[in-house]
Amino acid sequence: MYLQSVKTKVGTKHYAYLRLVETFRSQGRIGKRVVANLGNLATINKASLAHLSERLAQFAGRSIPTKDTIQTLQARHYGEALAASHLWEQLNLPAYLSQFAPSGKRIFNFPLAVLVMVLNRLIAPKSKLSVTHWQRKLYLPGLDEANLNYQHFLRALDALIPLKQPLEEHLFGRLTDLFSIKLNLVFYDLTSSYFEGVHCPIATWGYSRDHRPDARQIVLGLLVTDAGFPIAHEVYEGNTADKTTLSTAITTLTQRFQIKRLIFVGDRGLVSEDNLTALSSAGYSYIMALRKRHCREAQELFTGLHARTYQRLANDLWVKERIQNGLRYVLCFNPQKAPHDAIYRESLLTRVTPQLEALLHQPKRGRRRTSAGALARASRILTQHKAQKFFTIGLTSQGTFFFKRNTHVLQHEETLDGIYLLKTDVTDLSAKSVVEAYKTLCRVESGFREIKDFIRLRPIFHRAERRVKAHVFICVLAYLLECMIEERLRQAKLPYSARQALEHLDTLRLVDTKLGKEIIRCITKPSPEHRTILNALGVHAIPRIL
C-alpha cells in the first residue's frame, strides 16, 4: 500500500485529494484500488495525519524520530582516516601484511592493527596503551568488529620487525609504480631521539640533536629519494658515530635494492676517507658537504676568497668551482643566509660577555671568589655556550682573572658568513645542479624534523629492543603516508602542506546518531576544501550515510 495524491478540476478550481491505495494482480495484470479516501489536502487535519502515521509506525514495529528521540552518541575521526587508508590500499599493504599475520589460538586482524598504530602517529601520537582507547575515536571499516586491545598492538609490533626488509622492498616497488620514481639521487641523513624509558639496551648517551644530554637516546638513519619518500631506515645505539653508519646504507642500496648507479648525497658528519672510498668501490658518485671549520681542505680553499670572485647563478646563490687533486669543490655563498649567521654570532657574544664581566668583580654578598675559581667558572661558561674560540681567558702576572675577545677569530668568522662548501666526484652535473641536490638534502633534513615534530617518534617507553625498532618503523610508515599526501597535493597544485590538509580533514567526522532503536552513521557535510583535498588524493566519493 502507498499514499497517492490525486488532482482534479471542477470548473475553474483545482483540488488535491489524498488516498490510500494498494496494488493487486488479477489474471496476470496489475491493477490498483482505493482502500480509503483521506480527504482534501487543503482542509485535511494535519495533526490527524501525524497521529495516523505514528500509529502505523507502531504497528510496523518502528518509531518516527522526533527531537526528543534523536540522540547523538559520538563523532569519530573520518576524513583523515579515509584519505590515509586509501593511500594504504594503494600501497597494497592490507593484502601484503595478511600473508604474515601471526598464527596461534588468539587470531586478530594484523593489517588493521598496524594501520591503526600508523594512523595514530599521523593524527594524534600516543603510547600503545593509549592507542587502545584512542581507536574508539576513529572510524575504519571493520574496526568495531575487530575488538583490538593492547596485547594485539604489542603482538603486531613483534610481528612487524621480521618483515622490515621485505616490506621496505615491497613499498619501494609500489612507490616506483605509483610515482614513477627514478632513483638517480639518494639522500642519507641521521637524527636522534631521546628516550623516556630506562631499560632498552640500545638507548645510550650520545651526541644529542634534541639538546637533551641528560637523557639516553637512539639514532635513526634514513635513506630517501629526491622526492622525499623514505625507502629504508636503520636504528642504531645512541652513541653511534654518524660516519660509521654509511656502510650499512651502501649495503642496503647495492644488495637489497640492487641499485648500480646513483649519486649519494650526504651531510658533513658522513665525510671520511673510508666512506668516500666505500662509495667509489660500490660504483656510486657522491655529493658531500664539508665542515667549513676544523677541516683542512676547507681552510685551504677559503684562503684568499672574496664574494666578488663568485659566479652568480640566482638571487640567493653565488658559486665558485675549484678542481684540486682530481676532485671538484663547489663553494657556495648565500647572501640571504649571511645576516642570519652574523646575528647568531652576535647573540652568542651578547649572552656570554656579561657572564664573563661578572667574574671580574667580587660578589657583594656570600663567599668571596678566588681567581682560580673565576677562571674555572669562565671555562664552564664558554664550554656550555660553545664559545671557547671567541675568547681568551687566563690569569695575569698578579694572579687576577682576565678575558678578552679574539678579534682575529671574529674577523675570520665574518668571512664565512653565508658560505658552505660541497665536495663531489661528479663531473657531468653543472654547479647549479650540484647545489640543488644539496638543497634537496636540506629539505630531507627538514623532513627529519617533521618526523619528530609532526609524526613524533616520542614517546618511546618500550623496554624490548625489537619493540623500539618496530615503534620507529610505525613512525616511518606514517611519515611515508605524509610524503605521499604531500606529493599528491603538489601534483594537483594545491596550496596545502600535508599537515594543513590533515587539519582540514579533521573536521570531516562520522557521527553515530541513535534514532529510536536504530543507530545511523552519518558523515558531516563535506566542505569544498574537503572535496578538493580528497579528490587530489584519489578519493572521489564521500558517502552521506554508512
Summarised one tens digit per residue, pLDDT across range 339-382 is: 888 898 899 999 999 999 988 887 766 667 788 888 899 999 99
More reliable by pLDDT, 303 or 52 = 52
Confidence at 519, pLDDT banded by 50, 70, 90? confident
For 133, 522, 535, the CA distances from 72, given in Å and listed in that order, are: 20, 10, 29
How large is the average pLDDT for residues 59-70?
66
- Specify the pLDDT at position 294: 61
SS3 for 219?
Answer: strand
Is 50 exceeded by the pLDDT of residue 454?
no
Q: Of the given ranges (6-20, 135-149, 171-185, 443-457), which has the lowest mean pLDDT?
A: 443-457
pLDDT more than 70, % of the chain:
79
CA distance linking residue 521 with residue 545, whole number of Å: 6
- Specify the pLDDT at position 206: 60
Contact 222, 245 (CB under 8 A): no
- Specify the pLDDT at position 455: 38
Sequence-distant (≥ 6) Cβ neighbours of residue 233 within 8 angstroms: 168, 220, 221, 222, 223, 472, 473, 476
- Specify the pLDDT at position 493: 92
Q: Which three cell numbers stand for residue 214?
A: 641528560
Strands (E), 136-229: 185-194, 217-225
CA distance linking residue 77 with residue 65, whole number of Å: 26
CA distance linking residue 164 with residue 178, whole number of Å: 21
How large is the average pLDDT for residues 231-248?
74
Confidence at 537, pLDDT banded by 50, 70, 90? very high
For 210, 250, 344, 345, the CA distances from 348, given in Å and listed in that order, are: 19, 39, 6, 5
How large is the average pLDDT for residues 108-119?
93
CA distance linking residue 306 with residue 371, whole number of Å: 43
Is 60 exceeded by the pLDDT of residue 238?
yes
Please give the single-letter amino acid code of residue 11. G
- The pair phi, psi for residue 445, each rounded to 5°, is -60, -35
* Mean pLDDT (the chain, rounded): 80
Confidence at 109, pLDDT banded by 50, 70, 90? very high
- Specify the pLDDT at position 171: 92
- Specify the pLDDT at position 67: 65
How large is the average pLDDT for residues 6-21?
83
pLDDT more than 90, % of the chain:
19
Q: Which three cell numbers stand for residue 414?
A: 665574518
- Specify the pLDDT at position 74: 84
Confidence at 72, pLDDT banded by 50, 70, 90? confident
CA distance linking residue 416 with residue 389, whole number of Å: 15
More reliable by pLDDT, 321 or 119 = 119
Q: Which three cell numbers stand for residue 307?
A: 664574494
Angle at 32 between CA 26 and CA 37, to 5 degrees: 140
Chain centre to alpha carbon of residue 425: 33
The H or E element containing residue 347 is helix 338-358
- Specify the pLDDT at position 494: 92
Q: Checking DSSP bridges between strand 317-324 and strand 311-314, what pairing results, if any?
A: antiparallel
Identify the sign of the CA torsion 259, 261, 265, 269. positive
- Specify the pLDDT at position 448: 53
Is 90 exceeded by the pLDDT of residue 85?
yes
- Count Cβ atoms below 10 Å from residue 297 Cβ, excluding itself: 16
More reliable by pLDDT, 198 or 362 = 362
What is the value of pTM for the model shown? Answer: 0.70
* Domains of the chain (ranges, CATH numbers): 2-64 (no CATH), 90-162 (no CATH), 181-337+418-461 (3.90.350.10), 338-360+370-415 (no CATH)
Q: Of the given ranges (11-25, 47-61, 139-153, 274-288), which has the lowest mean pLDDT?
A: 47-61
Pure H helices in 37-163: 46-59, 79-90, 93-98, 110-123, 128-134, 143-146, 150-160
- Specify the pLDDT at position 491: 92
- Specify the pLDDT at position 225: 81
Confidence at 88, pLDDT banded by 50, 70, 90? very high
Please give the single-letter amino acid code of residue 210. D
CA distance linking residue 287 with residue 189, whole number of Å: 13
CA distance linking residue 109 with residue 86, whole number of Å: 18
Is 70 exceeded by the pLDDT of residue 389?
yes
Confidence at 221, pLDDT banded by 50, 70, 90? confident
Is 70 exceeded by the pLDDT of residue 303?
no
How large is the average pLDDT for residues 150-167?
90
More reliable by pLDDT, 214 or 476 = 476
Q: Which three cell numbers stand for residue 453?
A: 615534530
Identify the sign of the CA torsion 290, 380, 338, 443. positive
More reliable by pLDDT, 25 or 54 = 25
Give yes or no for a cis peptide into 459 (omega within 30° of 0). yes
For 54, 98, 321, the CA distances from 17, given in Å and listed in that order, are: 21, 61, 92
- In the chain the first and final C-alpha atoms are separated, in Å, by 28
Confidence at 254, pLDDT banded by 50, 70, 90? confident
Sequence-distant (≥ 6) Cβ neighbours of residue 286 within 8 angstroms: 263, 264, 265, 266, 276, 279, 424, 425, 426
Q: Which three cell numbers stand for residue 242?
A: 654518524
For 105, 175, 221, 430, the CA distances from 227, given in Å and listed in that order, are: 43, 11, 17, 20
Is 50 exceeded by the pLDDT of residue 475?
yes
Q: Which three cell numbers stand for residue 241?
A: 658515530
How large is the average pLDDT for residues 107-124?
90
- Specify the pLDDT at position 452: 47
pLDDT tens figures, 161-189 = 899 989 998 998 899 888 887 776 677 76
Is 80 exceeded by the pLDDT of residue 507?
yes
More reliable by pLDDT, 9 or 125 = 9
SS3 for 304?
Answer: coil
